[in-house]
Structure 1
Amino acid sequence: MSRTEGKFAVGIGVMKQPGTNAVEVGNEVKKRVKEIQATLPEGVKIGVRFDLTTFISESIKELYFTLILAALLTSLVCWLFLGSWTATLNIIMAIPTSIIGTFMALYAFGYTLNTFTLLGLSLAIGIVVDDAIMVLENIVRYREKGQARIPAALNGSKEITFAAMAATAAIIAIFLPVAFMEGTIGRYFLQFGVTLSVAVLFSLLEALTLTPMRCSRFLTVEERSTWLGRGVDNTFKKGAELYKKMIPGTLNHPYLTITAATIFFGITLFFGYSLYQTMEMIPSQDQSRLSVNLRAPVGSSLSLMDEKTKIVEKYLNGKSEVESIFTSVGGGSSVNTASIFVNMKPKSKRKLSAQKFMDVIRKETKKIKELKGVMVTIQDPSLSLSGGRGAGKPVEFSIRGPEWDKLVECSTNIMEEMKKTKKMVDIDTNYRSGMPELEIIPDRVKARDRGVDVSEISDTVNIMMAGAAVGKYSDAGRRYDIRVGLPASERSSAESIRSLLIRNNRGELIPLSDVVKINQKKSLQSISREDRQRAISVNANIAPGSSQKEAITEMEKIAKNILPEGYRAVQSGSTKTFAESIKGLVFAMILGIIVAYMVLASQFNSFSQPFTILVALPFSISGAFIGLYLFGQTLNIFSMIGLILLMGIVKKNSILLVEFTNQMRSKGLPVREALTEACPIRLRPILMTSLATIAAAIPAALAFGPGAETRIPMAIAVIFGVLVSTVLTLFIVPSFYMILERWFPSEIRKLKVDTKAAVKQ
C-alpha cells in the first residue's frame, strides 16, 4: 500500500530509456501529468512526489552561471595585463569560437550537456584563451617595439606558433588514455576529456588564424592613463625586474634549486598521504531529498508494518526540514518492509543540510520505543553515480564460502564488528532468516500401532490448516469456491496442530500428537550464489566524520580476522567500482605522462628536453594536495579530474620557456645568456595564461548552488596546482635546462644546428 499526505495512493515509477535525456523525459512526464489530471474524476489527484531531474536541472543552471562568470573573470585578467579593450576583445573572441565549435562536436558525438561536459566547458574557458593570449601577447610585444600592425601580427604569430601547437598537443595527449578507462566512470571521463580536447583544438585554430587577422586590423597599444592601469603596469614591471635579477642566482646554483624543490615536493606528500586515507568515490551532495527504509522482523504482517511506518511518517511530518513525503509499505513478497521518500525544503529555507538531517533521523528514530525491533536505514540518492548494484551503498562486500550456516555466522560477526568501529552506519545484509515454520514428522511405528495411515495425517493437517474446496456457489454471475478449514484463531500455534484428531482404520479418533513429532524452527527464504559460490552481501553507509577509504579498510581488516580458511570477502557494487576507478585513474595518469613525453619528444626532436617540460608536473600535484587539504576537501573522482587536467595545462609554462630559449640559442646565444634573455620575456604570457586559468576556476571554487560539492574539489585542485606550479616553474625549468645541457651537450648542440637549419629554410 502507498500513501501521500496521509491519503491512500498508487505509486508509478517512470524510468528513462537508455540514451535519452533525463531532464527532457522529466519535463514530458510533468506535461502529461497535467493533461491526465484534467480527465480524472473529482477527488482523485495525480502529482509528482519524487523527482530526481529537479536537482539535475538546477545544477545545470548553476553551471551556466559559472560558465558566464568564468568568461567575465578571464576577460578581466586579460584587460588588467594588456590595458587595451581591443586586445581584450581579441582574446574574448576566442571563447565563443571554441565553445560553439565544441557544442557542434558534442552534438556530432551524441553527447548531452551533462554535469561532466559542462564542467569541462567551464574549466575550458580559462584554457581556450591561452593560445590566443600567447599569440596576442607576442604580437603586442612587437607592436611595443614600434612595428606596424600587419608586420607585428605576422612576426608575432610565426614566432609563437610552435609553442602554441606543442601546448595544445600536450593537453590532448594527457586525455588520450582516458579513452581506455572502463565502466561508468570511464564513460563520464571520456566525455569530459573529449569536451576539453575539442575546445583546445578549436582555440588553437582560432589563435593561429583569426587572432592574427583581428590584430592586424584593430589592435591598439597605448600608454595607460587610469590609476588602476598604471598600478598594474608598475606592479608587473617591478615583478619582471625582480625575476630578471633572481634568474642568474638560480642558474648559478641549479642543483640547489632542484634539491630545494624536491624537498618541497616531499613535504607535500604528507598532505597527499592524508588525502589518500580519506578518499571517496564521490562527495555527498545536498539534493534536498532522501529515502528512509524500514524493515520489521521476518513474519511481521502487513498491518503491523503499516503501523510502524505511520509512526515514522508522523515523526518526519513534524520536522521543519521536510516538505513532503511519499510512503510505500510492503512490496512483492516482502510485507515486512517499507520505504519513505522524503522531499526536503530548499537549502535556503532550512538550517540543516541533507547529510546532517540524515544523522538526526538515525539518532532520533532509535529512541522511539514503538520502533523497537524495526531496522531503520537511510539512503543518500546523491551517491547513485557510483553505479553499485544491490543496496548502492558506499561499502559493499560479498562474503563467500562453502557452508551456508558458517556464512551466516561469519556475516553476523562481521556486522557486529563493523558497528564497533563507528565508521559505518546503516549496516545491513541481503540475508534474511526465514519465516518460523513447524516441521511435522510422522512416527510410523506409533501410527501403525494405532491403525493410522500416514496419508491421513497429511490430508488432515492440510485441510484443517490450509482449507479445502468442497463446493461452489454463484453470486452476481460469478462462481466462488466454498472452502472448509479451521478458523484463524484455532490455527495460530503449534498447540492447535497437536489438538487435531485423526480417524484410524477402525473409525476411532486419535490425537495427532500421539502419532507425530512437531519441531519448530526457522526456514531459509533464499540461498544466494555469486561466481558459483554461496554468498551473503554486507553493506553500509559512511558514518559522519569518516570516509569511504577508511570504512573499506576497516571492513577488510575485520573480514581478514574473522573469516576462516576457505571463506573470503570480495568487493562488490560501489566498493568494487571505487577500487576499479582509482586503478583506472592511476593508469590514465601514468599513461598520459608517457604519451605526453612521446608527443613532446617528436615535436622538440629531443629525448631530454621533454623531461625539462615535464618537471613541472610533480609541483602541480603538490599545489593541488595543499589546496585540497587546507580547504577540507577529499580525493574523489572530481578532484582527480582536476589533477589530470593540471597535468595537461601546467606544461604550457614549461613549453613557453623551453621553446623560446631554443630560439635564443638558435641565434647563437650561449645557454646561460639564452635563459637569462628568454625567461623574463616569457614572464608576461606565463602569468596571463596561468591567471586566466585560475580566474576561470574561481566561480566553481566559490560555488554555493546545487551540485557545488562536486565542482569545488576540482576547482580548488586546479587553482592551487596552477598557482604553485607557475611560481616554481619559473625557477625550476631554467635550472633543469642548465643541468641537462651539462649532461647532454651534444644533443643540445644538435638541436641548435637543426633549429638554425629550420630558420634558414
Structure 2
Amino acid sequence: FIFFPLLGFSVNTLSMFGLVLAIGIVVDDAIVVVEAVIHHIEHGLDPVAATRQAMKEVSAPVIGIALILSAVFVPVAFVPGLTGRMYQQFALTIAISVLLSAFSALSLSPALAAMLLKPSKPMRGPLGAFFRGFNRVFDWATRGYVGVARILVRRAMITIVLVGVVIVFSGLIGRQLPAGFIPDEDQGLLGVNVQLPPGASLERTGAVLTRVEQIVAKTEGVDSFATIGGFGLVTNTYQPNFGTVLVRLKPWEERHGPALHVRGILATLQRQFIAIPEAIVFPFNIPTISGFGASAGFKFLLQDRSGTLSVEELGANARKFMAAARQRPELGNVFTSFDPNYPQVKVNLDREKARKLGVPINDVFQAMSAALGSAYVNDFNRFGRLYRVYVQAEADYRRKPQDIGEIYVRSRTTGTMIPLSTLVTIGSVASTEITTRFNLFRSVDISGAPARGYTSGQALAALEAIFAETMPKEMGFAYSSLSYQEKTAPPALPTLILAIVFVFLLLAAMYESWRLPWAVLLGSPLVALGAFFGCWLMGYDNNVYVQIGLIMLIGLAAKNAILIVEFAKAKHEQDGMSVEEAALESARLRFRPILMTAFAFILGVVPLMRAAGAGAGAQNVMGTAVFWGMLVATFLGVFIIPGNFAFVERLGRRHAPSRARPAATPEPAVHGGHA
C-alpha cells in the first residue's frame, strides 16, 4: 500500500486482486529458507550453523526467483490501452510484493529461523504417528520420483520430446478456447430496454412498461426497480417510443445457484418478455467496467464511408444487416435505434413570400419554436422566491399539424399579424428520428450481446462476417465502447514471448551462460497446457485474465526450475559431481520445497476459483487458469527439469572447445556453468 500512491494506483478491485494472488507467492521465499535450515538441523548442525549453511545455498535462488518474478512483468507495464492498464495493476502489485518478500526472506527469515528452530524430538501420540506416517509416505514418494527422474536424466532426449508434445497440445487446446475480453460480472444490477414501433406515443410506451414492471416484480431474485419512460439507456436517446427499467437484485448472499445469478435472471426475463409482442423488450447486463457504454455486450457501427447514400439507402442497408444478424446463433438481442420510418411533419417555408410581406425568416422559426415547444421570457419575484416565465401554446392548440398554420407573426413593414398558413405548406414525411455520426461518417448504431454459450470474440467475428457478406463497398464499420477496446487490444502472444525473452536474458546474466536458461525455460509450456486445459474444462474463454495468469505462471514455473537448476549447477561445478548425479541430487533435495511452495500458491488460489458475488467472474477465470497451470507445471515439471538440465549440459559439453591440459594432470569433467 505504501507504493500505490507513488505509482498512481488506488485501492481498487484490480490492485486488491493482485494482492490476493501475491499472498500465495510471497511466502515461497520464506518457505525455501526455512526448509533449508530444517534440512541442515536434521543432519546435525546447530540452528545458527544450519542457518549460515542454508543461506549459502539458497541466497542465489531466492534472489533469482525475485528478479525473475519481477522481470516477467516488465513487458506488460508498457502495453497500451485498457488492457495495458489492467496488466499494470496486476504486474506492479505482484512485482513489488515479490521484491519485498525476497528482502524479508534474506533478512528476517534467517534471523527468526536461527532463533526459533530447534532440533526436533520424536513426537508421541496420534499427532506423532500421523507425522511419522506422512514422512514415510513422502520418503517413499521421493524415492519413486528420483527413480523416474533417473530414467529421464539418462535419456534426456525424452524430456525434449515431451516438451514438444506439450507445446503441440497447448496449441491445440488453446485454439479450442473461444476468444474473449473481460468476463461479465454479477454486479447486483441489470436493465431492461423497451422499444416500440416508430411514432408510438409515450402513453403506449407507458402501457408496455407497466407490463414489464409486472413481470420484473414477480421474478425471483429481484429486490427493487425503477422505470423511465421516453428514454433509452442503451442508446442514450430521448424518444417517446423508448423506455428503460433499472433493476436492483437482492444481495449476493440471498441468491444461491445459477438460476439466481445475473445470467440466470437475464435468461428468465428474456423468456417472459417474449409474451409482449407489441414491443422489442430485452434485459441486459451492466458493463463490467464503468465508462464503456451503458450495457454489456457489443457496439457495432455501420458507416456510410462514401457520403453519398441517402437516409433511405442507409436504412435499407441497416435492415439487411439486422436481418442477417438475427439469424446468427452467436448474436443475441441485436437492435438499433436507427429507423428511417419515423413519421414526421415537414414544414416548407415560402421565403420569397415572407420577404415580400416583411416577415423575417428568423421570426417564423422563433414563433414555431415558442408555440410548439417553449421560450424563456423573463423572471419575477413573488413570495420571496424567483420564478421563471416561459411562453408556450396550450396543448389543445398544438395537437394537429394544421395548428401550425394558426400561429401568427408580425410583419416588420405593415405591423399586421400574419398567419403562418399564408407562408408555409405542411406535409407528412418519414425519416429517421436521430442521425448518428461516428468519426464524421453518418452511422447506424447497432447494439447487442453474445448469445448464451458464446463469447464476445465470437460475436465480433460473426458481425464482421455478416458485414462482408451483406454490405456494399460504400459501407464501412467501426466499434465503440468495450468492443473498441477489445478489437484494439494488442495480441497476447507477443507480450508472452517478450516476457519469456526478459526472463531468458536475466537468467543468462545470472548464470553467465546462454544454455542454462534453456534448462529453466523449457518447462514453461507446461503452464500453458495446464491453464488452457483448466479453462477448457470449466467452459471459460481465453480472456485478459487468462493472459495475465499465463504471464505470472511463466515466472512461477521458472521459480521451480531455478530451485533445481541452481542447486544442480553448484553440485556439478563446486562439488565435482557428474551431470547425472548433480541433477538427481538436486531433484531429491529440492523436491520437498518445490511441492511446499507450489501447494502454498495452489491452495491460495482455491478461494478465487470458488469466489461468488461482486467480481467473481474475473476471480473464477484467473483462479482456474493459475490453479491448473501451476498444478500441471509442478507435477510434470519436477520430472522434466532435471532431464532438461542434463540435456543442455551434455549439449554444451559436446560443443565446448577443447583445451590443452598438462599430460600429468587428468582432464576433469567439463563444468557446465559457462558457455
2:567 maps to amino acid: F
Q: Equivalent pairs: percent with the same residue?
A: 27
Check if 1:160 corresponds to 2:58.
yes
The counterpart of 2:536, out of the listed 614, 629, 635, is 629
Cα distance between partner residues in 1 of 2:537 and 2:319: 40
Indicate how the Cα distance of structure 1 residues 218 and 312 shifts in structure 2: closer, same or farther if over 3 A, else same: same
Indicate how the Cα distance of structure 1 residues 459 and 720 shifts in structure 2: closer, same or farther if over 3 A, else same: closer
Query: Contact 1:542 / 1:548 at 8 angstroms: preserved in 2?
Result: yes
Q: CA deviation at 1:256?
A: 2.5
* Superposed CA RMSD: 3.8
SS in 2 for 1:175: coil
Query: Contact 1:463 / 1:485 at 8 angstroms: preserved in 2?
Result: no
SS in 2 for 1:330: strand
Cα distance between partner residues in 2 of 1:234 and 1:224: 15
| Aligned residue number for residue 586 of structure 2 | 678
Q: CA deviation at 1:679?
A: 1.6
Check if 1:590 corresponds to 2:500.
no
| Aligned residue number for residue 186 of structure 1 | 84
Check if 1:384 corresponds to 2:284.
no
Indicate how the Cα distance of structure 1 residues 604 and 702 shifts in structure 2: closer, same or farther if over 3 A, else same: same
Q: CA deviation at 1:747?
A: 5.6
Query: Contact 2:610 / 2:620 at 8 angstroms: preserved in 1?
Result: yes
The counterpart of 2:217, out of the listed 314, 317, 321, is 317
| Aligned residue number for residue 137 of structure 1 | 35
| Aligned residue number for residue 537 of structure 1 | 445
Could you report, residue by residue, the CA deviation over 1:188-243 in whole angstroms, capped at 9, with x for unpaired residues?
A: 32121111111111111111111111121120232454222112211110011112
Indicate how the Cα distance of structure 1 residues 560 and 386 shifts in structure 2: closer, same or farther if over 3 A, else same: farther
The counterpart of 1:665, out of the listed 536, 561, 572, is 572
2:527 maps to amino acid: S
SS in 2 for 1:292: strand
2:66 maps to amino acid: T
2:285 maps to amino acid: D
Indicate how the Cα distance of structure 1 residues 487 and 155 shifts in structure 2: closer, same or farther if over 3 A, else same: closer
Could you report, residue by residue, the CA deviation over 1:634-660 in whole angstroms, capped at 9, with x for unpaired residues?
A: 222222222121111111111111111
Q: CA deviation at 1:301?
A: 3.4
Cα distance between partner residues in 2 of 1:625 and 1:397: 30
Query: Contact 1:271 / 1:626 at 8 angstroms: preserved in 2?
Result: yes
Query: Contact 2:163 / 2:523 at 8 angstroms: preserved in 1?
Result: no
Cα distance between partner residues in 1 of 2:269 and 2:615: 23
Check if 1:642 corresponds to 2:549.
yes
Query: Contact 2:298 / 2:460 at 8 angstroms: preserved in 1?
Result: yes
**What does 1:9-24 correspond to in 2, within 5 Å?**
none
| Aligned residue number for residue 457 of structure 2 | 549
Cα distance between partner residues in 2 of 1:320 and 1:737: 59
Query: Contact 1:392 / 1:573 at 8 angstroms: preserved in 2?
Result: no
| Aligned residue number for residue 144 of structure 2 | 242
Cα distance between partner residues in 2 of 1:465 and 1:105: 58
The counterpart of 1:437, out of the listed 336, 340, 344, is 344
Check if 1:413 corresponds to 2:320.
yes
Query: Contact 1:175 / 1:193 at 8 angstroms: preserved in 2?
Result: yes
Q: CA deviation at 1:467?
A: 5.8
Check if 1:334 corresponds to 2:239.
yes
Could you report, residue by residue, the CA deviation over 1:244-281 in whole angstroms, capped at 9, with x for unpaired residues?
A: 22222112222223213422442343321121x2x322
**What does 1:611-626 correspond to in 2, within 5 Å?**
611-626=518-533
Check if 1:363 corresponds to 2:271.
yes
The counterpart of 1:284, out of the listed 169, 184, 187, is 184
Cα distance between partner residues in 2 of 1:652 and 1:640: 19
| Aligned residue number for residue 19 of structure 2 | 121
Query: Contact 1:690 / 1:726 at 8 angstroms: preserved in 2?
Result: yes
Indicate how the Cα distance of structure 1 residues 574 and 467 shifts in structure 2: closer, same or farther if over 3 A, else same: closer
SS in 2 for 1:156: helix
Could you report, residue by residue, the CA deviation over 1:617-637 in whole angstroms, capped at 9, with x for unpaired residues?
A: 111110111111122222222
Q: CA deviation at 1:479?
A: 11
Query: Contact 2:524 / 2:557 at 8 angstroms: preserved in 1?
Result: yes
Check if 1:199 corresponds to 2:115.
no
Indicate how the Cα distance of structure 1 residues 481 and 219 shifts in structure 2: closer, same or farther if over 3 A, else same: closer
Q: CA deviation at 1:577?
A: 0.9
SS in 1 for 2:333: strand
Indicate how the Cα distance of structure 1 residues 466 and 704 shifts in structure 2: closer, same or farther if over 3 A, else same: closer
Cα distance between partner residues in 2 of 1:622 and 1:570: 35
Indicate how the Cα distance of structure 1 residues 534 and 349 shifts in structure 2: closer, same or farther if over 3 A, else same: same
Query: Contact 1:143 / 1:149 at 8 angstroms: preserved in 2?
Result: yes
SS in 1 for 2:140: helix
Q: CA deviation at 1:443?
A: 10
Q: CA deviation at 1:484?
A: 8.3
Cα distance between partner residues in 2 of 1:430 and 1:715: 40
Check if 1:303 corresponds to 2:203.
yes
Query: Contact 2:183 / 2:618 at 8 angstroms: preserved in 1?
Result: yes
Could you report, residue by residue, the CA deviation over 1:61-100 in whole angstroms, capped at 9, with x for unpaired residues?
A: xxxxxxxxxxxxxxxxxxxxxxxxxxxxxxxxxxxxxxxx
The counterpart of 1:394, out of the listed 297, 300, 304, is 297
- Alignment coverage as a number of residue pairs: 628
| Aligned residue number for residue 576 of structure 1 | 484
The counterpart of 2:135, out of the listed 221, 233, 238, is 233
Could you report, residue by residue, the CA deviation over 1:129-174 in whole angstroms, capped at 9, with x for unpaired residues?
A: 1111111211212111111111110111111111111111111011
Cα distance between partner residues in 2 of 1:340 and 1:392: 13
Check if 1:725 corresponds to 2:633.
yes
Indicate how the Cα distance of structure 1 residues 608 and 747 shifts in structure 2: closer, same or farther if over 3 A, else same: farther
| Aligned residue number for residue 249 of structure 2 | 344
Q: CA deviation at 1:453?
A: 8.7
Check if 1:274 corresponds to 2:179.
no
Indicate how the Cα distance of structure 1 residues 488 and 253 shifts in structure 2: closer, same or farther if over 3 A, else same: same
Could you report, residue by residue, the CA deviation over 1:550-592 in whole angstroms, capped at 9, with x for unpaired residues?
A: 11111110011112113222233211212333x2533332211
1:574 maps to amino acid: L
Query: Contact 1:386 / 1:574 at 8 angstroms: preserved in 2?
Result: no
Cα distance between partner residues in 2 of 1:154 and 1:465: 89
| Aligned residue number for residue 601 of structure 1 | 508
Cα distance between partner residues in 2 of 1:623 and 1:298: 53
Query: Contact 2:273 / 2:282 at 8 angstroms: preserved in 1?
Result: no
Cα distance between partner residues in 1 of 2:391 and 2:150: 105
| Aligned residue number for residue 665 of structure 2 | none
2:289 maps to amino acid: L
Q: CA deviation at 1:421?
A: 0.9
Indicate how the Cα distance of structure 1 residues 570 and 476 shifts in structure 2: closer, same or farther if over 3 A, else same: closer
| Aligned residue number for residue 260 of structure 1 | 162
Q: TM-score, length-normalised on structure 1?
A: 0.74
SS in 2 for 1:428: strand
Q: Can you give the 5+ residue segments of structure 2 that lack an aligned partner in the other structure?
A: 232-236, 408-419, 660-667
